[in-house]
Amino acid sequence: MTDRITDSVLYRHLWGTDEARAVLGEEGRLQGWLDVIAALARVQAEAGLIPEQAAREITEHAQAALIDLGYAAGQTRQSSHSMLGLIRALQAVLPEDARDYVYAGATVQDITDTGTALALRRIGGLAWRDLRRIEARLLELAVEHRDTAMPGRTHGQPGSPVTFGWKAASWADEIRRHLDRLREGAPRWLVGQLGGGTGSLVFYGDQGPAIRARFCAALGLADPGISWLTARDRGAEFTQLLALICGTLARIGGEVYELQRPEIGELREAVKDGTVGSITMPHKQNPEASEHLDTLARLARSSAAVMSEAVVQQHERDGRGWKAEWVAWPETCLLATAALKIAIGLTEGLIVDAEAMRRNLARHGGYQVSERALALLTPRLGPRVAQDRLQRALAGGRAAGRTSSQALVQDGLFSPAEASYLTAEPDTGSCQQMTDLITERAKLARAAEPQEWP
Amino acid sequence: MTDRITDSVLYRHLWGTDEARAVLGEEGRLQGWLDVIAALARVQAEAGLIPEQAAREITEHAQAALIDLGYAAGQTRQSSHSMLGLIRALQAVLPEDARDYVYAGATVQDITDTGTALALRRIGGLAWRDLRRIEARLLELAVEHRDTAMPGRTHGQPGSPVTFGWKAASWADEIRRHLDRLREGAPRWLVGQLGGGTGSLVFYGDQGPAIRARFCAALGLADPGISWLTARDRGAEFTQLLALICGTLARIGGEVYELQRPEIGELREAVKDGTVGSITMPHKQNPEASEHLDTLARLARSSAAVMSEAVVQQHERDGRGWKAEWVAWPETCLLATAALKIAIGLTEGLIVDAEAMRRNLARHGGYQVSERALALLTPRLGPRVAQDRLQRALAGGRAAGRTSSQALVQDGLFSPAEASYLTAEPDTGSCQQMTDLITERAKLARAAEPQEWP
Amino acid sequence: MTDRITDSVLYRHLWGTDEARAVLGEEGRLQGWLDVIAALARVQAEAGLIPEQAAREITEHAQAALIDLGYAAGQTRQSSHSMLGLIRALQAVLPEDARDYVYAGATVQDITDTGTALALRRIGGLAWRDLRRIEARLLELAVEHRDTAMPGRTHGQPGSPVTFGWKAASWADEIRRHLDRLREGAPRWLVGQLGGGTGSLVFYGDQGPAIRARFCAALGLADPGISWLTARDRGAEFTQLLALICGTLARIGGEVYELQRPEIGELREAVKDGTVGSITMPHKQNPEASEHLDTLARLARSSAAVMSEAVVQQHERDGRGWKAEWVAWPETCLLATAALKIAIGLTEGLIVDAEAMRRNLARHGGYQVSERALALLTPRLGPRVAQDRLQRALAGGRAAGRTSSQALVQDGLFSPAEASYLTAEPDTGSCQQMTDLITERAKLARAAEPQEWP
Amino acid sequence: MTDRITDSVLYRHLWGTDEARAVLGEEGRLQGWLDVIAALARVQAEAGLIPEQAAREITEHAQAALIDLGYAAGQTRQSSHSMLGLIRALQAVLPEDARDYVYAGATVQDITDTGTALALRRIGGLAWRDLRRIEARLLELAVEHRDTAMPGRTHGQPGSPVTFGWKAASWADEIRRHLDRLREGAPRWLVGQLGGGTGSLVFYGDQGPAIRARFCAALGLADPGISWLTARDRGAEFTQLLALICGTLARIGGEVYELQRPEIGELREAVKDGTVGSITMPHKQNPEASEHLDTLARLARSSAAVMSEAVVQQHERDGRGWKAEWVAWPETCLLATAALKIAIGLTEGLIVDAEAMRRNLARHGGYQVSERALALLTPRLGPRVAQDRLQRALAGGRAAGRTSSQALVQDGLFSPAEASYLTAEPDTGSCQQMTDLITERAKLARAAEPQEWP
């Protein structure tokens, strides 16, 4: 049985995707490390440091499925060494003649940091794919609702109208920036690590850098140039990006959460069959995906912050920050993949109630007309007078329970015909133009880039 | 297989104790909830709301071991409801006539918040016990090393001598404050929760508060007076305390980490048989427990911060912060219990090298005599002149490679006899008196308090 | 000119109160330190360590207003010593014969930590006073609106009705717990610090502890028993409490923020004359105080987190965490006092629209009747059948655009008379009883405690 | 007088540079906003929206030095509007005919976000310049100390030797990655903002996007395409980068802090004349710059975390996160510039004691030879036997107080000649090759890039 609720049989789907778990879970983690150990053996064999046969056998047996986890665990605890349990468990399944050649000259971080880079490639790939899918959906919404007027809201209060397409375009544009960041960061992140004890490569004599280069290449990673056992900015940057991505998704979720209030009713999560919102209050439909995006963003920020703190390390290895990374790095990744998956469901199923948006624009006397009215009055009266008189007219009208149209006429600012025209149709300003600009820009970027990362 | 490395078969001992896992792991968590569900049924039966027989059967079958987790998981996912999976799985093992009476009128948080209070009682009890054990050990060290002189260090630089016992007393005193906090907080934390959908207790008609009171009493918890579904300061306070405790233990660990440097060598972790510090550098003895205390403190702070953020909740239930608590609360508890256990091992096995301490006091020319010399010169020369001349004498002596004793004589500040007396024996000021004061105070507190919490 | 926007002439009122600034600002901070320096001199004179006359003169001249700040600043920068600039500036205004006796045998933290304890006493006093005032107002609201029904809301969705008085009582109860924490923590926080270089009190020979005791007493502080130069849990605990308090106030603010949405309109901030919500959208009334409480809570949490991190310190002084406290401790205090002041304004001016609450209860077909309907159906049909049929009836009714009353009749669950009775008046369950319980409890606590802290 | 200690006359140099204060302080902030207001007026005049003459006068008078701050402050408080105070104060110094045309159609964030982008350009420029200067110095150190052997240290324990140049190269390489991030992020960050109330540009009729484009161009900023009033990833990314930079500098500082311990003595901060390390302990030389880098990194992380949290915003403006940015954004910038300046001083003055490094390598019996010995024994004995025997030999030798050389001979692993050769000269592995690789790579990058950012 698992202990962390994030891995609970009942709740695991909320805190990570199966795809990410396949990479970062016990088996995926060990397999990643075994892949690195096998690659190291092959490269050492090529360099004549260990027998070819041993490297072949190590490669063949370096399968998580073959490892006796209980034995590995026992040896880990007995030795208090992070990697020795796995090494001994691998040796236990190897033929006698290959056993000695496992993990020769390596240090734990050579294996785990390189393993993390391999995992990062897969997690980054999932993020790239899912972000592009979300972007595609948001662009669809932007196009579809290019002209769907709704109240803009600032400080929670309705203001000048916007369009829902424009809102979706703003989300898509933020996602696009995350895609840019993912692309730009890849060369920094996808590097291997080989250095031995203090990172000096002393085990390999003169061949150190050459062996490291081949080792990285064998795993499809770039060569770092220098050991980075305590240079931890890479992981911090990556997880901070994931936390930012979660933040963006939580922003989208928050919008749905608020606009799904029945008093507003402009957006709504799709509800799948069988969902029970509340047992005691069976009429309720809760914005569960939306609110969970916020939850995930909080936790992702918290984990990413641990990674930032871990940038400050001492000397050539520093277990304090490094072991914190052991937990925080995969945690951030798991949370982010869950957020991406949930955001896909949310955006793809999103129900947009254009009628409610329209209705809400008309509510409360249509006072969101004010900015447009100000624009029209400004050339007539000058900005200050326009502002003062408009403010007085609207405040007075509101207090008296008039519609904005009545208020504008009452105060002599507009003729009834003007006022009626002014308030008849929401003026969404340049929302449509901005939406077009963003969707066009995104379309070009999408066409120019690969579907796979990196 | 688990996914979180914190539950990994290989590494789980680093991130939580078995005792805490028994409370907070999948089985313990479900059992806690089932205990609450059973107590609710019994209280409802007493009040005539459900049949006595049903309550008896619910109580009898509310065993985590009976629950088909796979079924519960499937129902959870299908319904997207956090508790319905468990309810249906419990119903599945109940006789037909009792099934309907499970969880009547409750809301999820009635079960989970009350379950958390039950878990808190056990985790708090573990913390109380372990803190007292650590305190006891630190008090032993304080007494034993009351007179063991060592360099005090500020900004990493040796200064006026202190004693190791005094250092241990400072640690013990900090632990004592945590014990005080634990004791004071208990009445705030150990309360049940019952309220139904929005916390209004509407399901129970006029009997609401009375039923809640009996429900809480049945579980050994206090009655909260009012629903606290979105009043989350309690959990935040408790986890912040755990994070502070981890901080204190990390302070102790940090001291060992630094003083175990072979260049200093004053403290050392005990090494158990079989430990392998480093494969590539077999001579090394790493302060693993010490550094892990720092790692745990980072993670605990990070989780506790999530709890603080969750104090800001909306309306009568707010899934955003609440679900973050689902993860952060047990996480902080697990990390803290691991830290306590490791700190017990560290302090109980701690090797104090009084000889090295003595040697280090004599190193570098014994310049840490300065504060005492200043005290002696002040009445003779006035503080400012004393300070100026001493500073000049010592700086000059140091630059010239003299011992502090030579320097003080050279500059005519002291006679050779005085200087020799001054530097012969480290003056640890009032360290011993302070140590006595703290150990005495702690002894009284320990005698006056129960061994069990709360 | 100031640089931090928090001290900006234009915006300073948002980030701290004048009262707190008087304690924590440049002048208050220096005065606090000077008070400590003067007390030290007097105690040293009593002990015969320095001339009585010098102590009198130091006491007389230790006035921030007399200090040449520019000179102090220059000396601080030149010496790179945190306290020497102030010492020299004080010496510059002292008669020749007293100059030498300033700060004899002290270390910087002796002055600053003791100064912080003095400041804490005043900030804690402000918090106590303001929390009690807020509590009083919330209790008034609780009593006044004991029976004011409004929609309860979970996950942002209306559910079973509650009363606004009950909501206010929940806030008051949370404030009460903060008052308890403030009271309990006082003995831990209000302690002085005297120890010299490494805290060993070596400067004072055998008199160390006695002088420290008199020094603390002279300032109205408790004696710590042992130096706490690197035992920093006290400050962390205090600031975490302030951050929790800010969280509670942000919870109240968030409730107003959301319920002030014109689509809901149940609560509203009072608007003072001259307020301009928006220049471009003059009709708007923004919940500015409410949202600012959230802003302050974020910043306070962030500062308090720095304090928690600073618990992990090394040896006998550790500038890394300590200097972070220099910034984070007063920052948290300033933010918290601002939050308290704003919360007073918000709660005392709060406009409760009972009519809107009533209207909202009736909106959307009155579906929040469900929990009560369930309670009535449960004994008739058994919980499960009751739940299933109710859920079907309400979902069907909702989809068909019926009111809840119609839906309940349509499905044969209730007679028209029953349904009409059921939905006629919101059933707020035990909200009133809980409100009475809390207000009564608070009243007793208030009567039993002093108005001043500690 | 200022209130925040970060702006204290005595301590301000610790928490921000004069250059950054000129940008971010009260005057710089207001000037930035006034520059934006003036540019807006000019663009509006070009578009025929306001008179040319008014735009000229606004431009001429938009000088922070002309603004009556007290008046602005009073108006800000009276109106509770963040920008109206400044507007009215500007109007007060304008000729009558221009007054009305200030800030027409703008919203607060149009001014402040664009002002922030202008400030970011300057702060980013400072960071670029200082990072390059630090990199240059680190590369010098790398070259100069390419062959300076010193103990590598892992977990605080000496291990296989490295060179100090290699350590400096690792720092330089991390700085280089920050330069890459700064370069890549520039196009995302240097964008203006214009949108009016909800960002729809409704005030400008059809001309919205065109006017925004000219407005951005006039200020040397890119056009954002769409309003980003609540799309806040840009600022979060920038401040996270600054926090990472501070982390790197704290890593360098931490290394100096630890290696300056007199027990180690390998590195040392330069001490400027007049510095007083400790009054009571005048012999001490504290690593003040080094430790302050850690302090700054903590605070910068804390501020940057506030920015990340602020990514989750609601609707079209959300004062909660936005106002938190008001504080956190400049705070992070100020702290980072202080860190950069201090790091310049630290690295440029750094004293490297190659002799102490050499001495330390020889201390403790030279046991750091182990990894090299392992490399030599591996081909002879196979890795496992080599490891086992070496571990036994070294552990035994250490326990018996032998040097490593004696231990290796005693156990028959090496001949006396071999052992003597092995331990005679530290083998720093491929440190030199890696150092060359990094310095060469950096040299090329430096040559190819501009000295100014962006």
Question: Which tens digit of pLDDT belongs to each residue from A165-183?
Answer: 999 999 999 999 999 999 9
pLDDT value of position C427:
92
Query: Is D359 in the B-facing interface, judged by CB distances under 8 Å?
Result: no
Contact A197 B278 (CB under 8 A): yes
Query: Is B375 in the C-facing interface, judged by CB distances under 8 Å?
Result: yes
pLDDT value of position C207:
93
Average pLDDT over residues D373-397: 85
Rounded to whole angstroms, the Cα distance separating A373 from A350 reads: 33
- List, in sequence order, every residue forming a beta bridge with C159; answer none if it has no partner: C152
Which residues from chain A sit within 8 angstroms of residue B303, using beta carbons? 302
The amino acid sitting at C251 is R
Which residues from chain D sit within 8 angstroms of residue C27, using beta carbons? 1
Rounded to whole angstroms, the Cα distance separating A230 from D227 reads: 40
Query: Is C188 in the B-facing interface, judged by CB distances under 8 Å?
Result: yes
Rounded to whole angstroms, the Cα distance separating B316 from C162 reads: 9
pLDDT value of position B410:
86
Q: Which of B161, B226, B305 sits opposite C438 (nearest CB)?
A: B226
Model confidence, pTM: 0.97
Rounded to whole angstroms, the Cα distance separating D148 from A76 reads: 37
Which chains pack against D, by 3+ Cβ pairs within 8 A? A, B, C
Q: Where are the domains of chain D?
A: 5-99, 108-138+161-202+224-360, 364-424
Q: Which of A152, A181, A433 sits opposite D197 (nearest CB)?
A: A152
Least Cα separation, residue C232 to chain A (angstroms): 20
Which residues from chain C sit within 8 angstroms of residue A367, using beta carbons? 283
Which of D280, D293, D333, D346 should be substituted to probe chain C, the one whose Cβ sees the most C Cβ atoms within 10 Å?
A: D280
Average pLDDT over residues C333-347: 98
pLDDT value of position A220:
98
Q: Residue B97's closest chain C neighbor by CA?
A: C382
Which residues from chain A sit within 8 angstroms of residue C280, using beta carbons? 160, 370-371, 374
Work out how many CB contacts closer than 8 A connect A with B. Answer: 220
The CATH architecture that domain A108-138+161-202+224-360 belongs to is Up-down Bundle (1.20)
Rounded to whole angstroms, the Cα distance separating D39 from D193 reads: 12
Rounded to whole angstroms, the Cα distance separating C12 from C6 reads: 5
pLDDT value of position B1:
63
Query: Is C96 in the B-facing interface, judged by CB distances under 8 Å?
Result: no
Least Cα separation, residue C284 to chain D (angstroms): 11
Average pLDDT over residues A120-124: 98
Element (H, E) at D149: strand D149-154
Element (H, E) at B246: helix B233-259
- Residues 6 or more apart in contact with residue A258 via CB below 8 angstroms: A264, C156, D314, D315
What sign results for the dihedral spanned by CA atoms A221, A226, A229, A232? Answer: negative
Which residues from chain D sit within 8 angstroms of residue B384, using beta carbons? none
Q: Among B453, B454, B452, B447, which residue's Cα sits nearest to residue B136?
A: B447
pLDDT value of position D1:
63
Least Cα separation, residue B279 to chain A (angstroms): 7
Contact B158 D262 (CB under 8 A): yes
φ, ψ of residue A268 to 5 degrees: the values are -155, 135
Query: Is A308 in the B-facing interface, judged by CB distances under 8 Å?
Result: no
CB atoms within 10 A of CB D448: 7
- Has residue C1 got a pLDDT over 70? no
Which of C154, C281, C363, C369 should be substituted to probe chain A, the one whose Cβ sees the most A Cβ atoms within 10 Å?
A: C281
Q: Residue B266's closest chain D neighbor by CA?
A: D263
Chain mean pLDDT for chain D: 94
A415 catalytic residue (yes or no): no
A333-346 burial, b at 16+ Cβ within 10 Å, e below that, comes to bbbbbbbbbbbbeb
Which residues from chain D sit within 8 angstroms of residue C327, using beta carbons? 4-6, 15, 299
Which residues from chain D sit within 8 angstroms of residue A101, using beta carbons? 382-383
- Residues 6 or more apart in contact with residue B402 via CB below 8 angstroms: B365, B410
**H helix intervals, A204-287:** 208-218, 233-259
φ, ψ of residue C444 to 5 degrees: the values are -60, -45
Cβ proximity of A119 and A32 under 8 Å = yes
Contact C152 B255 (CB under 8 A): no
Contact B247 C236 (CB under 8 A): yes
Element (H, E) at C444: helix C431-448
- Residues 6 or more apart in contact with residue C359 via CB below 8 angstroms: none
Least Cα separation, residue B225 to chain C (angstroms): 6
Question: Chain B neighbours among C 152-171 (CB < 8 Å)?
Answer: 152-156, 159-162, 166, 169-171
Rounded to whole angstroms, the Cα distance separating B75 from A408 reads: 58
pLDDT tens across the length of chain B (454 residues): 689 999 999 999 999 999 999 999 999 999 999 999 999 999 999 999 999 999 999 999 999 999 999 999 999 999 889 999 999 999 999 999 999 899 988 999 999 999 999 999 999 999 999 999 999 999 999 999 999 999 999 999 999 999 999 999 999 999 999 999 999 999 999 999 999 999 999 999 899 999 999 999 999 999 999 999 999 999 999 999 999 999 999 999 999 999 999 999 999 999 877 777 777 776 778 999 999 999 999 999 999 999 999 999 999 999 999 999 999 999 999 999 999 999 999 999 999 999 999 999 988 777 778 888 888 888 888 877 888 888 888 888 878 888 888 888 988 889 998 888 887 788 999 999 999 999 999 999 999 999 999 9
Least Cα separation, residue D164 to chain B (angstroms): 18
Cβ proximity of B256 and B287 under 8 Å = yes
Alpha carbon distances (Å) from B38 to A118, A280, B92, B208, B223: 48, 18, 15, 18, 18
Average pLDDT over residues D26-40: 97
Cβ proximity of C367 and C394 under 8 Å = yes
pLDDT value of position C420:
84
Contact D383 A316 (CB under 8 A): no
pLDDT value of position A381:
87
Give the tokens for residue C271: 């608007």
Contact B302 A303 (CB under 8 A): yes
pLDDT, tens digit, for every residue of A186-229? 999 999 999 999 999 999 989 999 999 999 999 999 999 999 99
Contact A283 C394 (CB under 8 A): yes
Cβ proximity of C199 and C229 under 8 Å = yes
Average pLDDT over residues C17-23: 98
Least Cα separation, residue C88 to chain A (angstroms): 36
Alpha carbon distances (Å) from B182 to A162, A382, B21, B187, B244: 53, 66, 21, 10, 12
DSSP single-letter state for residue C415: -
Which residues from chain C sit within 8 angstroms of residue A360, using beta carbons? 263
Average pLDDT over residues D31-47: 97
pLDDT value of position A1:
63
Q: Among B283, A319, A188, which residue's Cα sits nearest to residue D244?
A: A188
pLDDT value of position D128:
98
Which residues of D participate in catalysis according to the annotation?
A: 155, 278
Q: Which of B3, B24, B291 sits opposite A26 (nearest CB)?
A: B3
**D163 vs D277, higher pLDDT:** D163
pLDDT, tens digit, for every residue of C285-318? 899 999 999 999 999 999 999 999 999 999 999 9
Which residues from chain B sit within 8 angstroms of residue C227, using beta carbons? 170, 434
Alpha carbon distances (Å) from A125 to A121, A333, A383: 6, 12, 52
| SS3 of chain B: helix, strand, coil, percent, to 5 | 70, 5, 25
pLDDT value of position D422:
81
Q: Which of A234, A308, A316 sits opposite D247 (nearest CB)?
A: A308
CATH topology classification for C5-99: Fumarase C; Chain B, domain 1 (1.10.275)
- Has residue A315 got a pLDDT over 80? yes
Rounded to whole angstroms, the Cα distance separating A150 from A39 reads: 57
pLDDT value of position B212:
98
Q: Residue D236's closest chain A neighbor by CA?
A: A244
Give the tokens for residue A156: 């929670």
- Residues 6 or more apart in contact with residue D32 via CB below 8 angstroms: D23, D115, D116, D118, D119
Query: Is B3 in the A-facing interface, judged by CB distances under 8 Å?
Result: yes
Q: Residue B102's closest chain A neighbor by CA?
A: A279
D369-387 burial, b at 16+ Cβ within 10 Å, e below that, comes to bbbbbbbbbbeebbbbebb
Query: Is D76 in the C-facing interface, judged by CB distances under 8 Å?
Result: yes
Which residues from chain C sit within 8 angstroms of residue A264, using beta carbons? 261, 263
- Has residue D75 got a pLDDT over 70? yes
Rounded to whole angstroms, the Cα distance separating B88 from B73 reads: 10
Q: What is the DSSP string of D273-339?
A: TT--S-SSSTT----HHHHHHHHHHHHHHHHHHHHHHTT---TTB-HHHHHHHHHHHHHHHHHHHHH
Select which of A13, A79, A200, A278 is catalytic: A278
Contact C391 A282 (CB under 8 A): yes
Q: Residue A325's closest chain B neighbor by CA?
A: B295
Cβ proximity of B396 and B407 under 8 Å = yes
Q: Are strands B267-268 and D149-154 parallel, antiparallel or unpaired?
A: unpaired
DSSP single-letter state for residue B94: S
DSSP single-letter state for residue A191: B
